[in-house]
């Protein structure tokens, strides 16, 4: 499936270099090409997609009728957006989560389970070629699209059709989630959404889908059916949810608690606000404060406590705005703080407006790891033009972005495909990357990580820490594209590959009150390092690695538009170099749209490859007919090089098909390995040339998987293709097992810990709101986290919980395990970590979790290429509550074969039930 998501037409056009009429011409050509695609599958099993030569089909008519109207609507919206790839994990989520949607410029909200937001004015999804839900999420994590006829009347309420759960990019601390309010459609309009069934686009009527919509009239609440693409079984599920279900999920996965626990941030903001109010008062003026993106109202309460005469607190996310009203009232500030539930760009000034006059103090916290990714620049730009006085005080006053050029094979392996070495009976074979991939500048998104967990031995510093650019928030801010150059002499010779970046904010004009995101090696006092997860550090990959020579000066150029930053390296003055241009590099090889940064690292892990090669040697025979089932995997090439007679690989998304075809061609294997582009359950004998499979293999890896057990989709595929397996067929891996360990986190527990009081203000209402959100069904599940970034100690020994025998079909009955885990080390039991281990052969096992036995102190070493599942014990997360030292943890874990879900429950008998 080829699916392009265009967020805000103007910005998308600028990014791709489309200007003037050429923008429309390119879009029109793209749409016309898509609707003429003769290979498009059915819209629905009940509505065949059979375009007649004489007239356009329904989908074509719909697109042809609406695309200009819809793109015009996108162009009319002043806000921007983000073009994303599967790498848009924590950063994109932070850009789009509720807290950051303080203004239209700070985030776009795309919601499928409330209001009438089928197609927001700022988004259009042009579906070029239909595939399946797994293919869609692999390519651009697209969740849905809808089209409304231009003449459709406005509808005042009712739910829209569908949303994808967090397993498909729908949320989670490290996964972006997009949601949007706004946009209307006719009750009978065509709704197109991506499903995980055998079709991609389905044509349905709202009245058909929402049989209980009248509930709203009778009870005041409404239930909606949400389409959930199941990553484990590959099927689509329809579940009845409360109309505010997505609100609860958004709150549960947000970083509110993390920010409230950031003592350094809170203290510095308080100091800066006191200083700003004092400066205004010293001028004999009233202190009128505008707080954009108020969240809990914390900064507004700080301002009033510091002496501000009145504060206008803007918050667009209604549940958060309602909570802010209650928190303000509970703390006794209702007479001096007005909460405005709007985008900041919609706030009005005047006697009948939201504010009677312009403010003279501007307080915001619209920053993400990249500084500007939450729309800080356009939000400030609008505020200075319309909402605050000239020469106002701003808190923070200034921000500065820093960069450091490094050479790092480890980090470069997150961006490029390295040659893979395979030892065969004929000698060493090398799998080389295609030239398109080598030339590709990479994914157009930053990789934000906890840089403090990267060892200094993993990179070579090529430059000093360079201040790249600053933004003065007390003056008019521009969101226009800009370049900032720094001339420097490399500290060492090497290959410039990666730019490490972070920022600091100064809360006062003198720069005495500073909050920095610098990693420990760039801190003057590393021992005072503040842990935070809502702001981390950035890893940028240069378009191509460049050799540098010690002492031979070069230019490092930081480019940015209104939302994003990217870097380039120049050898001559940028004024003389025509190569310096504002266009942001975008992946053109498509591998970066298929593989995430951790997946690149996993494929480049030669030790891991060697383990699979060794296992294949034990199961392959000269007459083996192999069927490989994993997304974008090189296993099929390993099998061929090791002597398999014939190799088939299933790539049931157009993205993976294209990428693998390029790799096969670069290695002269395009006629040696057969690519099957269809869903496994639709496999026919002709696809296998009438042969029976003797070796069914996989890593397994699937791009739609988020939790470790989602890759059990391999088991469901093995069951679906059972009739194509020959007698005595070997399955590799032959089995998998689920393991767990109880841990104490050094810091990660803070993201789920209640705050209570923050800088002297009572925010228990926020804690209660998060707790209620967490009580919703989906929030009670384990969460995916890359634990190599989050140090922890094991309090127990690892324990095997469940075993899955891939040599047998998926059982019809649930598989359940109960037991206890003995805690061998003292500590606070913050939660259980779960992961999968795949048993390739009886003697070879690949772990997605712990890589080696825990040390005496319990320090854990986690697989850096995979996310582990974390189930937090709520009863031990509040540091103000003494939890005691439980000696055992009871557990119940159940695998539901019908849904592919794994549910769990834990009991700390010496404390309370979790």
Q: β-pairing, 514-516 with 646-650?
A: unpaired
Helix axes 764-774, 245-253, angle to 10 degrees: 120
Are 542 and 499 in contact by the 8 Å Cβ rule? The answer is yes
Contacts of 480 (CB under 8 A, 6+ apart): 561, 562
The two tokens of residue 324 are 């802010």
d(CA 450, CA 274): 31
3 state SS of 545: strand
d(CA 326, CA 766): 9
Alpha-carbon Rg for the chain, nearest whole angstrom, is 28
3 state SS of 319: helix
Are 825 and 893 in contact by the 8 Å Cβ rule? The answer is no
The phi and psi torsions of 541 (rounded to 5 degrees) equal: -105, 130
Task: Find the Cα–Cα–Cα–Cα dihedral 130, 134, 140, 144, rounded to 10°.
Answer: 60
DSSP state of 796: B
d(CA 368, CA 374): 6
What distances in angstroms separate CA 908 from CA 817, 821, 888, one per listed residue? 17, 10, 7
d(CA 866, CA 863): 6
Q: β-pairing, 625-629 with 693-697?
A: parallel
DSSP state of 583: P
| Strand-by-strand arrangement of the 359-364 sheet | 337-340, 310-314, 288-292, 359-364, 388-395
3 state SS of 445: coil
CA angle 594, 60, 194 (to 5 degrees): 40
d(CA 50, CA 217): 40
Q: β-pairing, 236-242 with 288-292?
A: unpaired
Question: Whose CA is closest to 63, among 184, 201, 182?
Answer: 201
Residues present in the chain in total? 914
Question: Whose CA is closest to 666, among 449, 431, 440?
Answer: 431
296: left (phi over 0), alpha (psi -120 to 50) or beta: alpha
d(CA 392, CA 289): 10
d(CA 655, CA 139): 6
The two tokens of residue 98 are 């509720």
Euclidean distance between the first and final Cα of the chain, in Å? 42
Contacts of 304 (CB under 8 A, 6+ apart): 289, 311, 333, 336, 337
Contacts of 211 (CB under 8 A, 6+ apart): none
d(CA 837, CA 862): 13
Instruction: Give me the active site residues, please.
Output: 365, 374
Any bridge partners for residue 180, and if so which? 110
The two tokens of residue 120 are 């927001």
d(CA 398, CA 578): 31
Sign of the dihedral through C-alpha 697, 703, 707, 712:
negative
Q: β-pairing, 2-7 with 799-805?
A: unpaired
Alpha helices in 101-241, H assignment, sequence order: 133-140, 206-209, 215-219
d(CA 795, CA 801): 17
């Amino acid at each position: 499936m080829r699916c392009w998501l265009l967020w805000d037409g103007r910005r998308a056009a600028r990014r791709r270099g489309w200007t003037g009429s050429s923008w429309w011409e390119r879009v029109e050509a793209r749409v016309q090409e898509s609707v003429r695609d003769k290979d498009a599958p059915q819209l629905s099993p009940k509505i065949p997609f059979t375009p007649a030569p004489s007239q356009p089909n329904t989908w074509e008519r719909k697109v042809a009728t609406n695309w200009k109207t819809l793109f015009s609507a996108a162009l009319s919206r002043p806000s921007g957006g983000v073009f994303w790839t599967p790498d848009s994990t924590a950063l994109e989520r932070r850009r789009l989560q509720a807290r950051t949607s303080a203004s239209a410029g700070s985030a776009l909200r795309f919601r499928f389970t409330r209001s009438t937001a089928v197609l927001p004015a700022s988004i259009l999804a042009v579906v070029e070629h239909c595939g399946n839900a797994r293919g869609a999420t692999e390519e651009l994590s697209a969740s849905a699209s809808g089209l409304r006829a231009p003449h459709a009347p406005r509808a005042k309420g009712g739910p829209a059709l569908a949303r994808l759960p967090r397993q498909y990019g729908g949320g989670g601390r490290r996964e972006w989630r997009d949601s949007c309010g706004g946009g209307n459609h006719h009750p009978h309009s065509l709704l197109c959404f991506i499903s995980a069934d055998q079709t991609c686009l389905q044509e349905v009527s709202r009245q058909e889908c929402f049989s209980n919509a009248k509930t709203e009239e009778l009870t005041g609440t409404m239930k909606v059916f949400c389409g959930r693409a199941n990553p484990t079984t590959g099927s689509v599920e329809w579940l009845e949810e409360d109309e505010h279900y997505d609100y609860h999920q958004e709150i549960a996965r947000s970083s509110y608690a993390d920010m409230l626990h950031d003592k350094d941030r809170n203290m510095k903001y308080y100091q800066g606000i006191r200083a700003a109010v004092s400066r205004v008062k010293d001028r004999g003026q009233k202190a009128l404060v505008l707080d954009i993106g108020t969240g809990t109202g914390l900064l507004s309460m700080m301002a009033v406590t510091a002496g501000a005469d009145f504060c206008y607190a803007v918050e667009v996310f209604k549940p958060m705005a309602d909570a802010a009203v209650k928190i303000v009232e509970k703390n006794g500030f209702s007479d001096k703080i007005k909460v405005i539930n709007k985008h900041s760009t919609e706030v009005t000034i005047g006697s009948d407006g939201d504010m009677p006059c312009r403010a003279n103090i501007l307080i915001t916290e619209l920053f993400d790891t990249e500084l500007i990714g939450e729309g800080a620049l356009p939000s400030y730009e609008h505020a200075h033009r319309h909402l605050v006085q000239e020469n106002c005080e701003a808190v923070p006053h200034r921000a500065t972005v820093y960069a450091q050029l490094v050479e790092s094979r480890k980090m470069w392996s997150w961006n490029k495909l390295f040659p893979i070495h395979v030892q065969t009976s004929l000698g060493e074979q090398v799998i080389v990357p295609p030239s398109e991939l080598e030339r590709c500048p990479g994914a157009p998104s930053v990789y934000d990580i906890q840089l403090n967990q990267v060892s200094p031995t993993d990179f070579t510093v090529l430059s000093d820490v360079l201040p790249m650019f600053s933004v003065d928030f007390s003056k008019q801010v521009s969101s226009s594209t800009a370049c900032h150059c720094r001339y420097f002499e490399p500290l060492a010779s090497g290959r410039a590959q990666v730019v490490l970046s972070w920022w600091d904010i100064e809360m006062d004009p003198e720069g005495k009150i500073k909050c920095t995101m610098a990693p420990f090696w760039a801190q003057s006092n590393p021992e005072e390092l503040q842990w935070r997860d809502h702001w981390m550090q950035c890893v940028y990959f240069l378009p191509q690695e460049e050799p540098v020579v010690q002492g031979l000066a070069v230019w490092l150029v930081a480019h940015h538009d209104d939302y994003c930053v990217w870097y380039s390296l120049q050898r001559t003055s940028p004024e003389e170099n025509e190569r310096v241009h504002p266009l942001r590099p975008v992946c053109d090889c498509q591998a970066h749209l298929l593989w995430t940064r951790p997946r690149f690292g996993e494929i480049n892990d030669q030790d891991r490859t060697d383990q699979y090669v060794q296992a294949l040697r034990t199961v392959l025979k000269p007459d083996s007919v192999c069927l490989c089932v994993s997304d974008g995997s090189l296993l099929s090439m390993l099998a061929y090089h090791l002597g398999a007679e014939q190799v088939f690989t299933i790539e049931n998304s157009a993205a993976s098909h294209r990428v693998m075809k390029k790799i096969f061609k670069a290695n002269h294997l395009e006629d040696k390995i057969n690519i099957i582009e269809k869903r496994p359950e639709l496999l026919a004998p002709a696809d296998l040339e009438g042969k029976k499979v003797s070796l069914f293999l996989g890593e397994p890896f699937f791009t739609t998987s988020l939790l470790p057990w989602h890759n059990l989709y391999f088991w469901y595929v093995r069951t679906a293709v059972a009739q194509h397996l020959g007698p005595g067929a070997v399955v590799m891996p032959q089995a998998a097992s689920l393991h767990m360990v109880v841990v104490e986190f050094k810091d990660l527990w803070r993201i789920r810990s209640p705050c209570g009081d923050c800088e002297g203000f009572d925010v228990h209402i926020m804690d209660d709101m998060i707790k209620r959100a967490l009580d919703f069904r989906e929030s009670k599940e384990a969460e995916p986290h890359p634990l190599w970034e989050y140090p922890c100690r094991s309090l127990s020994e690892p324990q095997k919980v469940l075993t899955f025998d891939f040599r047998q079909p998926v059982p019809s009955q649930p598989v359940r395990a109960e037991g206890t885990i003995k805690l061998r080390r003292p500590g606070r039991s913050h939660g259980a970590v779960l992961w999968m281990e795949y048993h390739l052969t009886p003697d070879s096992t690949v772990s997605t979790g712990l890589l080696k036995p825990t040390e005496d102190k319990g320090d854990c070493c986690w697989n850096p290429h995979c996310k582990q599942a974390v189930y937090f014990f709520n009863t031990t997360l509040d540091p103000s509550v003494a939890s005691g030292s439980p000696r055992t943890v009871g557990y119940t874990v159940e695998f539901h074969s019908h849904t592919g879900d794994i549910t769990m429950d834990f009991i700390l008998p010496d404390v309370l039930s979790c």
